[in-house]
Structure 1
Amino acid sequence: MSFKIAIIGAGSVGFTKKLFTDLLCVPEFRDIEVALTDISQHNLDMIRAILEKIVEANGFPVKVTADTDRRRALEGAKYIISCVRVGGLEAYADDIRIPLKYGIDQCVGDTICAGGILYGQRNIPVILDFCKDIREVAAPGAKFLNYANPMAMNTWAAIEYGKVDAVGLCHGVQHGAEQIAEILGAKSVSELDYICSGINHQTWFVDLRLNGRKIGKEELVAAFEAHPVFSQQEKLRIDVLKRFGVYSTESNGHLSEYLPWYRKRPEEIARWIDMSDWIHGETGGYLRHSTETRNWFETEFPQFLASAAKPIDPAKRSNEHASHILEALETGRVYRGHFNVKNNGVISNLPADAIIRSPGFVDRFGINMVSGVTLPEACAATCMASINVQRMSVHAAVSGDIDLLKLAMLHDPLVGAVATPEEVWQMVDEMVVAQARWLPQYAHAVPEAKERLAKSSIKTRDWAGAARRNVRSIEELRAEKSALKKAV
């Protein structure tokens, strides 16, 4: 088979390498063209060198191109994959830093909450530019696969305003299933059957079967509490399981900031998180992790390049959805997964316009969702709170309506649990002013926001958060990796 795939934001080097390697695990895909595009020539040069090394080492006729001209990269592409972070780590640092001044402590800040909402405001205008290019220069009927967060907002904008065939992809379901298989003593995750449904990053294991036997709440709680590692790393997640009766797909740190109950009091945060790794609730944990990863890659690039000169092992293909979806669409080999799409009745007790994540099957006819799912009422209630925030955030991002943006922020579960309306209004002004270069739709609102900030009497604080860690140096990272190797 010969067709073209374009990857936007290909400078996300590690993730792009994984997607590319997965694609080449499909025998029919070894004559494709992969067009890389990014705003950073430096990052493009690095990832192109790595991918060309993979192609050379495996002797495949795959064509790899790299171009900062996005439209040129998208010309004739049948599939477009996006993994962009508009504003990079600089804007992301503000997503964490500014809300902390108002007492809002986030672990990730890329889905909803203060950081996720502003991330969406930066991404959505760019996503709509992608969609315009797709409509104008990509292959007719091209499919847009979005990996970038905030997943629901980006996908919502691409479908409602971008008018392209879009699907959002995330790996939370797969990781949650791996945990459950482990605590139940399964030999592999293939012994576990499950249905997950909800919205991205708030999806719920509504039905679980181990070798055909239904697993109930009590058995699942007991298994998690008996596990020596997960019982400590997933305390908040286990508490939600006890109260809701179903397990969430998302990590302790992710889930903690989508709910109004666990991070609103600084003295309570330590009770619910675990500091063994960033993903379990550390303040600004993903920002620290991302910064360290970038610094490590820049320093150790020669080693990454050398490691690319290895034969591809299809048995080690990852569980990221993209390659499996494309394989099903092109070959007809059916793939089952959980996908982010417009609801349209798939989940009976969530709105039709919402972007939901639920089971679907892919074949030559496309992505076919399983309809008629009804969520437990508590799960639907927490999803609805996020959906309302997402809807207002998308519409604000498209219209440049700063008042609607402030209302979206006010209705966010964690923001509303921590900050007063006056604080929310000022925080949004501060974030929009700080990130003005990435928010063209709010250019008209920035001067007045600056004036309000200059006159404000609302006090803020210089706070690092309840559980912050410093970014580690390259030397510290080397020492840690060395110690891990010796331990193994």
Structure 2
Amino acid sequence: MKQGPKVVVIGAGSYFFGKPVIYNMVHSPILNSGTLALVDTEPAVLETMMKIAERAGTHAGVPLRIIGSTDRREVLEGADFVVLSFSFRNACYRELDTRISRKYGVTMCSGDTIGPGGIFRALRELPEVLRIAQDVRELAPAAWLINFVNPTSVLGIGLMRHAPAVRSFALCDGNHEPYVRLMYLRKLGIIADDSEFTPEVDAKFDLRIAGVNHCTWILECRYDGRDLLPLLLEKTREAARHEYDRAPSPKAKPRLNANYELALMELYGAFPTAASHTKEYVPFFQGYGVTPVTPEPIICFDGYNRADEMAEAWAETEKLATGETPISRLFETGRGDHATDIIESMWGGLGKKFYINSANRGAVANLPDDAFLELRCELDMQGPRPLPAGEMPRGLLGLTHQVLDTHELTVEAAVSCDRKLLLRALATDPIVNNLGDARNIMNELLEAERDHLPAGWSR
């Protein structure tokens, strides 16, 4: 077997990504003879993740080489893959984005992809992503740059438009294969548990998901030729009824999602695969108008809870580094992350299919070839090749165009520091319905976040 790849992770202390990537790099025979380079600008965070990786490698007895640096340029040379998983003061800025937007009548339950929150997160993150891309072009020109930072679609568009010489695509963990297929097979009663998932079952299951990241939809769902969308609608109605048997979650993202799924599926005839996000992509749940909103207007992102959760998770991570928690626990409870599952398949030529965010290239027949979509793809070291997904139905087609227009305008505003383009992006956004409010949100957020925005915004 050939030697494993060199994988550079920028943002090694990621809330979601850090430990799973270590698990996969150590656990996979395809990856564990390679190099894992961990990068984090916080020395204490880097030290913690390095200790976990070293303990995991020793425990498994594998030859994985582990290196680390607070300066990415020290470890980029010779990289085969560069994974972006960084975020600066995530909970703090999302709370700021959502609170100021809510003041002007725009509510976001997540605030990391659409709405003013998604737009301003892109203003903060895209300049750094493009600087990293320039370093990759210089030091590792053959590498694949994989963006795992939200808003993944906006940053992916930014790389496609403004770093075309760098090989790149973008990811989200929402439609992670094979787990997403297993989930829907169980939900629809085709299998009772994962042990029944055989190649024969997989071959009979035609599941077509398409859309813009966090606004993706099941357009086709068939098993052995039978249309299962009516059954999925029935299951969604049942789940929505039972959701009221218990007190709704006080947290914004998971709250009443079966009921939001039902409302969206009955409206569009397709199933939203990420309701916790998609419910903030449409104006219907904002609370505008006269008639009461069903099931209820979405509630604002609870940033203070997010900070507490992240702090609690980091405390558990530190226990793995110090040995207070046995490193064997990582292997007992861990599973691979989306990015390194894909890297394993690409490097090992496994021929697996994954949901990737990249250019459409004809997969959705009634959207442009360069529309940046989340689609099931074949992929190898030459990159992703989207599989046919049919057509986006009317209604969703218009919403998808609007979301893509917002994202494209956001990219151009971010690279130019142009307030006119930024205002146009905000006004194009599907949940902003007042130009004066958009202007006020823009001005207040530019001032509140000036310390972490490019100097061009202060001109």
TM, length-normalised to structure 1 = 0.82
Shift of 1:146: 0.8
Matched residue, 1:208: 221
Matched residue, 1:195: 208
**Aligned equivalents of 2:291, 2:123: Cα separation in 1:** 30
* Equivalent residues of 2:23, 2:334 under 8 A apart: no
Matched residue, 1:248: 272
Say which is worse superposed, 436-445 or 58-67, in terms of deviation: 436-445
* Equivalent residues of 2:287, 2:293 under 8 A apart: no
Aligned with 1:309 (options 327, 343, 351): 327
1:224 lines up with 2:240 in the alignment: no
Matched residue, 1:396: 413
* Equivalent residues of 1:25, 1:312 under 8 A apart: no
Shift of 1:141: 1.6
Q: Secondary structure at the match of 2:378?
A: strand
* Equivalent residues of 2:5, 2:347 under 8 A apart: no
Aligned with 2:78 (options 70, 76, 79): 76
**Aligned equivalents of 1:29, 1:145: Cα separation in 2:** 16
Matched residue, 1:144: 145
**Any stretches of 5+ residues in structure 2 without a counterpart?**
245-255
Matched residue, 1:410: 427
Q: Secondary structure at the match of 2:25?
A: helix
* Equivalent residues of 2:284, 2:293 under 8 A apart: no
Matched residue type, 2:162? Y
**Aligned equivalents of 1:392, 1:2: Cα separation in 2:** 39
Shift of 1:300: 4.1
* Equivalent residues of 1:58, 1:311 under 8 A apart: no
Matched residue, 2:248: none
Aligned with 1:262 (options 285, 288, 294): 285
- Residues 75 and 63 of structure 1: is their aligned pair in 2 closer, same or farther, counting only changes over 3 Å? same
Tell me the C-alpha RMSD between the 2 structures.
Answer: 2.6
**Aligned equivalents of 1:314, 1:159: Cα separation in 2:** 39
Q: Deviations over 1:276-329 (max 9, x none)?
A: xxxxx54214x34431222213444453434451177599634x4322322222
**Aligned equivalents of 1:333, 1:340: Cα separation in 2:** 20
Matched residue, 1:63: 65
**Aligned equivalents of 1:226, 1:84: Cα separation in 2:** 39
Aligned with 1:183 (options 180, 187, 192): 187
Structure number having the greater helix percentage: 1
- Residues 259 and 338 of structure 1: is their aligned pair in 2 closer, same or farther, counting only changes over 3 Å? same
1:439 lines up with 2:443 in the alignment: no
Shift of 1:437: 1.6
Matched residue, 2:438: 424
1:239 lines up with 2:263 in the alignment: yes
**Aligned equivalents of 1:4, 1:289: Cα separation in 2:** 36
Matched residue type, 1:69? D
Matched residue type, 1:439? L
* Equivalent residues of 2:210, 2:218 under 8 A apart: yes
Shift of 1:432: 0.7
Matched residue, 2:250: none
Matched residue type, 1:97? R
Matched residue type, 1:141? A
Shift of 1:218: 2.6
* Equivalent residues of 1:104, 1:264 under 8 A apart: no
**Aligned equivalents of 2:299, 2:320: Cα separation in 1:** 28
- Residues 340 and 302 of structure 1: is their aligned pair in 2 closer, same or farther, counting only changes over 3 Å? closer
Q: Secondary structure at the match of 2:285?
A: coil
- Residues 48 and 444 of structure 1: is their aligned pair in 2 closer, same or farther, counting only changes over 3 Å? same
Q: Deviations over 1:32-68 (max 9, x none)?
A: 1111112211221222222222112111121222211
Shift of 1:221: 1.4
Shift of 1:398: 0.6
Identity %: 24
**Any stretches of 5+ residues in structure 1 without a counterpart?**
275-280, 446-488
- Residues 268 and 338 of structure 1: is their aligned pair in 2 closer, same or farther, counting only changes over 3 Å? farther
Matched residue, 2:134: 132
Q: Secondary structure at the match of 1:377?
A: coil
Aligned with 2:391 (options 349, 371, 374): 374
Alignment of 1:455-474 (within 5 A): none
TM, length-normalised to structure 2 = 0.87
Shift of 1:208: 1.1
Q: Secondary structure at the match of 1:203?
A: strand
- Residues 260 and 14 of structure 1: is their aligned pair in 2 closer, same or farther, counting only changes over 3 Å? closer
Aligned with 1:283 (options 300, 303, 314): 300
Q: Deviations over 1:239-266 (max 9, x none)?
A: 1111211101113x31111011112349
